[in-house]
Amino acid sequence: MKKITSVCPYCGAGCKLKLVVDNGKIIRAEAADGHTNQNELCLKGYYGWDFLNDTKLLTPRLTQPMIRYEKGGKFTPVSWDEAIRYTAKRLGEIKAKFGPRAIMTTGSSRGTGNETNYVMQKFARGVLNTNNVDCCARVCHGPSVAGLQETLGNGAMSNSIGDIENSSCLLVFGYNCADSHPIVARRVIKAKQKGAKIIVCDPRRIETARIADQHLQLNNGCNMALVNAFGHVLLEEELYDKDYVASFTTGLEAYRETVKEYAPEAVEHLTGVPAKQVRQAMRTYAAAPSATIMWGMGVTQFGQAVDVVKGLSSLALLTGNLGREHVGVGPVRGQNNVQGACDMGVIPNQFPGYQDVVNPQVRAKFANAWGIDPAVMDDKVGVRITEVPHLALEGKVKAYYIMGEDPLQTEADLGLVRKGFEALDFVVVQDIFMTKTAEQADVLLPATSWGEHGGVFTCADRGFQRFEKAIEPMYNVKRDWEIISLIATEMGYPMHYDNNQQIWDELRELCPLFYGVTYEKMGDMGHVQWPCPTLDHPGTPYLYQNNKFDTPDGKGHLFAAQWRAPAERPDDAFPLVLCTVREVGHYSCRSMTGNCAALQTLADEPGFVQINPQDAQALGIKDRQLVWVESRRGKVITRADVSERVNHGSVYMTYQWWIGACNELTQDNLDPISKTPETKYCAVRVSAINDQ
């Protein structure tokens, strides 16, 4: 029996665990003393490994390469040589006929690791010559990256998960940590136990609201109005730190001009939050010796998400809550390696280490390192995942190489996404399971899973952590980066790596932010946070020391914008607001957790729709009754969960189910900057199914 150190593959908290292996099989997981988890795990950490035994509970593993030679035909099992040759040939033909930008690629924010993401973007940029590479950050914290880069200079948490408990005030905005990051929720509880004030802004009475000093139960879709009202109070009541603002920020007058119309009393009808509660919240936040803002997808999955992120960071700037311990801004990233996917440049606007693709010097640096002509590199920002259906229907994207993503389950407005897929000429899916997207592929490339390979993840607080291989794979599968390298080589660009560390050292050399994060240092320290620019640098637990921001002028940029209404409002035909949410026992598209016996047992029905008792009564719906939920785009069946915790006029569904996926209902109104869809808001109607 042996114990292998790993990092949980299920959320950005980055908990360390030990996989206990006996006779080549994992038999249990034990908590380890990680930077964020301190010998604790949530149930996904403890029970989320048995999909590796190919349980076939939800869907079987992909066990060998397969090709569907004709549209609508059957998959044919093929050799790896044939799968690589065919994929390279088809991609090469499409590139030659339609140009590099007709091919879209994805990295993966899940268990594959940073090295693979680096190799995938190198393949896109260096071999296909397109910046069309993206990841699921687009549908979650893309707005946090874009917003924070503009106001503070880095698209990441400014602080550390471990330091949350030392803050004397937590402003938790649109973030249900008990369901999405249970171990981060432990830090919130510890902060409370140490005397911190907790302010929760959320339409639902989420778990954190139960221990909060204040719960501001705002109306859905009014984030910008409430954040502006916060800013208004800070200025009007002179609660802001005038010296700090004068010394370290810019943009105060424009900010003041915008928020002046947002007196809490003036926007009470919009936000639904009594003005005195808004004022009290800001008095508490501004008076705290240290304060931290945390947010989740309740901020980012709206058509005005980037503006709200910038507005939230402005509250921290106004009160001087940046650049020191126990304070900061924390977009708590969802998937375990979504921070890492962005770090590694699987985003269409930046190379690894957040270096702009439109900068010719940066392009030349990467081209020289990769041994290619800089002139062949794409000099424009590439396509985002959420734009693919539209561009496919317009004939501009012809091929889609998808690694470890399941857009036919996780993207908004699945009817639209399916039409986009039908318009594509060639789809390659590299994954571990036969997901909804894999079912539609032309080529299936089976990859090793977390547990079957090692690498480096980045957790939500910029911390790089190594994870190790625990078991040999059971099937004819290959490492993701090996598959990509073989395709690159077949397309005429010889690419070969012997191991993860070779890839890691190549990317370190190209990324000043990460240069000092060696494999040895990660081995010794366990968790090294970027920036880490030199070999003797210990990493950076909090950003913006001495209040020097990483913006072009070194200042923090204050920002406010006029509130914009969500794109689709409730009306007589569709009178309720649908908001998508998470479920504690499952993760992402559920392909992994749905194949874990203990987790599946926890929730073994096709989802739920949470509804307020008043709304349920008016519609004649009883608790646990089967119901239809219908929007202008689709209709799904699910079960009612009648709950006092839900606000009147809104209903809540998780997207993690294969039957009744709520993305049949959602709409793809995209934030104009980050192109993140408004999956937190669309209009629906709910009706009881009585003959059950």
Residues near ligand SF4 (CB under 6 A):
8, 10-11, 13-15, 37, 41-42, 44-45, 181-183
Backbone angles phi, psi at 343, to 5 degrees: -55, -35
Reported as type and span, the H/E element at residue 311 is helix 305-318
Residue 103 CB, nearest distance to ligand SF4 (Å)?
Answer: 33
Question: Of the candidates 231, 210, 206, 355, which has an alpha carbon nearest to the alpha carbon of residue 295?
Answer: 206
Q: What residue spans of 436-514 are helical by DSSP H?
A: 480-490, 500-510
Which CB, 16 or 95, lies closer to ligand SF4? 16
Which CB, 13 or 627, lies closer to ligand SF4? 13
Residue 411 CB, nearest distance to ligand SF4 (Å)?
Answer: 23
Which CB, 158 or 593, lies closer to ligand SF4? 593
Which CB, 137 or 185, lies closer to ligand SF4? 185
Residue 37 CB, nearest distance to ligand SF4 (Å)?
Answer: 6
Which CB, 336 or 663, lies closer to ligand SF4? 336
Which CB, 28 or 635, lies closer to ligand SF4? 28
Cα angle 299, 304, 310 (rounded to 5 degrees) comes to 65
Residue 33 CB, nearest distance to ligand SF4 (Å)?
Answer: 13
What is the residue whose two structure tokens read 């539609």?
440
Cα–Cα dist 560/308, whole Å: 8
Residue 600 CB, nearest distance to ligand SF4 (Å)?
Answer: 16
Which CB, 319 or 449, lies closer to ligand SF4? 449
For residues 77 and 65, the answer to whether their CB atoms sit within 8 Å is yes
Beta bridge partners of 292: 170, 328
185 contact partners, CB below 8 Å, separation of at least 6: 177, 178, 207, 208
The conformation of residue 425, written as its DSSP 8-state character, comes to S
Beta bridge partners of 639: 626
**Burial per residue of 377-396, b for 16 or more beta-carbon CB atoms within 10 angstroms, e otherwise:** bbeeebbbbbbbbbbbeeeb
C-alpha 396 chain-centroid distance: 26
Question: Of the candidates 657, 624, 558, which has an alpha carbon nearest to the alpha carbon of residue 228?
Answer: 558
Which CB, 182 or 420, lies closer to ligand SF4? 182
The DSSP result for 635-691, as a single string, is EEEEEEEE-TTSPTTEEEEES--SSS-GGGT---PBPTTT--B-TT-EEEEEEE---
Cα–Cα dist 106/368, whole Å: 24
Lateral strand order in the sheet of 443-446: 76-77, 66-67, 443-446, 426-431, 399-403, 103-106, 133-134
Residue 180 CB, nearest distance to ligand SF4 (Å)?
Answer: 8
Longest Cα–Cα distance of the chain, Å, equals 70
Residue 428 CB, nearest distance to ligand SF4 (Å)?
Answer: 29
Which CB, 11 or 226, lies closer to ligand SF4? 11
Q: Is the dihedral of CA 226, 227, 231, 234 positive or negative?
A: positive
Residue 312 CB, nearest distance to ligand SF4 (Å)?
Answer: 23
Question: Of the candidates 175, 293, 273, 148, which has an alpha carbon nearest to the alpha carbon of residue 218?
Answer: 273
Residue 158 CB, nearest distance to ligand SF4 (Å)?
Answer: 20
Question: Of the candidates 293, 314, 35, which has an alpha carbon nearest to the alpha carbon of residue 167?
Answer: 293
Q: What residue spans of 403-479 are helical by DSSP H?
A: 407-410, 414-423
Q: What is the residue type of 261?
A: E
User: 576-581 and 682-688: which strand pairing?
Assistant: antiparallel
Tokens of 590: 């559920």
Residue 583 CB, nearest distance to ligand SF4 (Å)?
Answer: 12
Tokens of 161: 């998960």
Which CB, 149 or 595, lies closer to ligand SF4? 595
Residue 652 CB, nearest distance to ligand SF4 (Å)?
Answer: 20
Going from the C-alpha of 118 to that of each of 8, 112, 481, 689, the distances in angstroms are 21, 11, 9, 49
Which CB, 282 or 584, lies closer to ligand SF4? 584
Which CB, 13 or 532, lies closer to ligand SF4? 13
Tokens of 628: 């239809």
276 contact partners, CB below 8 Å, separation of at least 6: 264
Residue 13 CB, nearest distance to ligand SF4 (Å)?
Answer: 4
Residue 177 CB, nearest distance to ligand SF4 (Å)?
Answer: 9
Cα–Cα dist 189/169, whole Å: 12
Name the residue whose CB lies closest to ligand SF4: 45
C-alpha 603 chain-centroid distance: 23
Residue 586 CB, nearest distance to ligand SF4 (Å)?
Answer: 10
Residue 42 CB, nearest distance to ligand SF4 (Å)?
Answer: 3
Residue 516 CB, nearest distance to ligand SF4 (Å)?
Answer: 25
Q: What is the residue type of 424?
A: L
For residues 378 and 101, the answer to whether their CB atoms sit within 8 Å is yes
> 692 in helix, strand or coil?
coil
Which CB, 181 or 521, lies closer to ligand SF4? 181
Which CB, 37 or 667, lies closer to ligand SF4? 37
